Structure 1
Amino acid sequence: MKEKMQGVTLIADWDPKPGFKLGPKDIEGRQTYLGSQVWRNPRIEIREYDIPVPGDDEVLIEVKACGICGSDVHMAQAEADGYIFYPGLTGFPSILGHELSGVVVEAGKNAYDKNTNKPYKGGEEVTTEEMLWCGSCKPCADGWPNHCERLDEIGFNVHGAFTKYLVVPARTLWSLEPLKERYPEDKLFLAGSLVEPTCVAYNAVIERGGGIRPGDRAVVLGGGPVGLAACAILKRAGASKVIISETQEDRGKMALKLGADYHINPLNEDFAETVLELTNGMGADLFMEATGLPEVVYPDIEKVIWEGRTLNSKVVVTARAEAKMPVTGEVLQVRRASIIGAQGHSGHGTFPRVIDCMADGMDMTLISTKQISLAEVPENIIQLQTDRSQCKVTYLANL
């Protein structure tokens, strides 16, 4: 292939804050695990690139759909001092976009399809994990590839999917074949692009949070795509009550369509008092913090745990944020409660399980409220920094 391709590229200035020290996995001037401590003055450009060539264990994908994630928005968003919002692994310049689906165009000689256990031939509809794990470090060997010691992340420190073609390791690909029966061709790739954010929710509430027993009560704070996906997963897992706390009324209504039983708007009503009232004073077995504002929402979570009658409540911290949580140890001790961190999605079969749930009727395409062309991606990333009226904005290659 001799033609070029365009990619929506994030650029920023390497300007570490005073006191910053390079970590063992940081690369001077190129990559850090503490993005908001280093990168200043982010800006987006559409740049021209050569079409990548897959290695022996890799696959070249033609991108058909890619959603804009809150991480994309926060990498491109600056605080008053010019430093980016996003606190995690980042390496610029990089093409953004990691919630993707597409078609296999070319594959290396050792690139095997997990769906058939045979080499890729081309034409297969796929999605991919966003976290590129090495498979040989201790976390990978222990079964925690999302904590890989040599982790790369599509659209964060290596090129992502807001472009036409993308190369990824064959080991991170998953077939969309199970979705074909339920999703027509015009919706297949849209559905495929929503697998990754739904897997983030699955990892948080099922894998890291320990799941729930049928009949448990669950509270989700934050009605972004991951919070909405958590509502669907928790209800499907058997929660008797799923409560969503969200300030945007449209997102609250969408949560109700996806499985939530009640919507609380914390701007209009007391969160803790309402949760206790809705649960007859019991509180909740599981809380998912997906707002990215732990300093704001955690005191109310703690109040529910303290005043409710449920022991062993779990708080799963899912959204990325630098802010500290104002934790009262006595509450955790007396109520046998715990706080758990959840990162990403890889490992323990999140992708095939989510794909099968979607094939069985858990329709996540409802959360994609706007579809755009590649040229419209930069302006929509900027718009999402201040406008939450859209839930998930998705780039579709056919627009």
Structure 2
Amino acid sequence: MKAALWYDKKDVRVEEIEEPKVTKGYIKIKVKWCGICGSDLHEYLGGPIFIPVGTPHPLSGNVAPVVLGHEFSGDVVEIGENVTKIKIGDRVTVEPIVACGECPACKEEKYNLCSSLGFHGLCGSGGGLAEYTVFPEKYVHKIPDNMSYEQAALIEPIAVALHSIRMANFKTGDTAIVLGSGPIGLATIECLKAAGARLIIVLQRKSIRQEYAKRAGANFVFDPNEVDIAKEVKKLTDGVGVDVAFETTGAKIGFDTGIDSIKYEGTMVITSIWEGDVSFNPNVLVFSEKKIIGSIAYRHEFPSTIALMSDGRIKAEGYITKKIVLDDIVKEGFETLTGPEKKKQVKILVTPDKSLLSES
């Protein structure tokens, strides 16, 4: 079968590899659509970050090259022994967590904090940028009949945003600033609207993404090149600041603006993946008892995300800005998302089945 493999930074290749086999407790999925994630872009531009190189991943036992892709949907075509909840023909998505199940975090069901955490599509256990993939039944979720395969490929990034909002202990009526309006930023805006946010402010440099942010539900969108965003936030909050900041850029401007924009005892949640260090003076936390917390992936959020999308509380409209075939993933996918046209894109979906492009 064909699959997209990461070999090294700026070295992704579409190759023929062996089709994966179903084992006990596993499910085989014929992939319909798979999104290119920000994590994939970080690996393409500055990796390895999650991808094991040299030393095998403790759970997959594999090293690069690895099959990419962790935001995907498809049909179940085969099930292994002891699979009871999923059947052949089911329309599904995958929660792409690779966890040991034995460490203290896993025993608390905080599997996203597994001491050996990996992600399908990054750690060498297979991935969704392929014709077929296999995964444990525990992390496979059925999708409702009213949800398209394309929408289902967006469940994973929206679950990331939903988890970050839960980590922030965000309450109805709270105020927020979202730093960046890429896919995770837009998902965060939509989740904040669904959570009953009173005010949503967004940092986004001038581009079509400003319009995307407004469409997703932002009340105000500011360009850091044009205004002092923290000052604007203070003006809009009677000089106090917002309750929560969500950092999705992985850039110092987002980090600094987030800290400066939150109120006393406010919280900044970092969901972005960073390619380097950032420095700050801890006194900005000490003097006002502000908090910075991290948020990685999701745990137990997939069912809630599917329900919120299915009933329309999270619309996830306009995310998909381009659809391409797997063969073209480097030029039409990675190069587009990292080149001069990147700000025009939100989510590029990839299919191994060329016939799906003519249907869409």
Please, what TM-score do these two structures have when normalized by structure 2? 0.90
The answer for the alignment partner of 2:267 in structure 1 is 314
The answer for the alignment partner of 2:225 in structure 1 is 267
- Of the three residues 378, 389, 394, the one matched with 2:330 is 378
After superposition, residues 1-399 of structure 1 pair within 5 angstroms as 5-12=1-8, 41-77=9-45, 84-85=46-47, 87-90=49-52, 91-113=63-85, 120-158=86-124, 159-177=126-144, 180-181=145-146, 183=147, 188-206=148-166, 208-210=167-169, 212-293=170-251, 295-305=252-262, 310-345=263-298, 347=299, 349-361=300-312, 362-379=314-331, 380-386=333-339, 387-396=342-351, 397=353, 398-399=356-357
Letter of the aligned partner of 1:320 in structure 2? Answer: I
Deviation digits for residues 274-310 of structure 1 (CA, Å, limit 9, x no counterpart)? 11122232211100110011x33333333334xxxx3
Contact 2:161–2:184 (Cα < 8 Å) also in 1: yes
Give the match's secondary structure for 2:187: helix
Aligned mates of 2:217, 2:178 — CA distance in 1: 12
Deviation digits for residues 31-85 of structure 1 (CA, Å, limit 9, x no counterpart)? xxxxxxxxxx5412111122211111000000011001112122122xxxxxx34
The answer for the alignment partner of 1:36 in structure 2 is none
Contact 1:104–1:123 (Cα < 8 Å) also in 2: yes
Letter of the aligned partner of 1:87 in structure 2? Answer: I
Letter of the aligned partner of 1:381 in structure 2? Answer: F
Aligned mates of 1:48, 1:149 — CA distance in 2: 33
Aligned mates of 1:270, 1:169 — CA distance in 2: 48
Aligned mates of 1:215, 1:393 — CA distance in 2: 33
Aligned mates of 2:51, 2:13 — CA distance in 1: 20
Aligned mates of 1:8, 1:274 — CA distance in 2: 44
Letter of the aligned partner of 1:150 in structure 2? Answer: S
Structure 2 unmatched runs, 5+: 53-62
Aligned mates of 2:259, 2:116 — CA distance in 1: 36
Aligned mates of 2:120, 2:350 — CA distance in 1: 16
Aligned mates of 2:228, 2:205 — CA distance in 1: 12
Letter of the aligned partner of 1:321 in structure 2? Answer: W
**Are residues 59 and 322 of structure 1, via their aligned partners in 2, closer, same or farther at CA, if it must alter by over 3 Å?**
same
Contact 1:249–1:265 (Cα < 8 Å) also in 2: no
Letter of the aligned partner of 1:301 in structure 2? Answer: G
Aligned mates of 1:143, 1:165 — CA distance in 2: 28
Aligned mates of 2:105, 2:188 — CA distance in 1: 25
Letter of the aligned partner of 2:84 in structure 1? Answer: Y
Aligned mates of 2:117, 2:279 — CA distance in 1: 30
Structure 1 unmatched runs, 5+: 13-40, 78-83, 114-119
Aligned mates of 1:282, 1:161 — CA distance in 2: 45
Q: Deviation at 1:89?
A: 4.3
Q: Deviation at 1:86?
A: 5.2
**227-236 or 84-93, which deviates more:** 84-93
C-alpha RMSD of matched pairs (Å):
1.6
Give the match's secondary structure for 1:388: helix
Q: Deviation at 1:11?
A: 0.7
Q: Aligned pairs, how many?
A: 339
The answer for the alignment partner of 2:59 in structure 1 is none
Give the match's secondary structure for 2:242: coil
Q: Deviation at 1:376?
A: 1.6
Contact 2:179–2:258 (Cα < 8 Å) also in 1: no
Taking every aligned residue pair, what percent have the same amino acid on both sides?
31
Contact 2:50–2:118 (Cα < 8 Å) also in 1: no
Q: Deviation at 1:334?
A: 2.5
Aligned mates of 1:72, 1:297 — CA distance in 2: 20
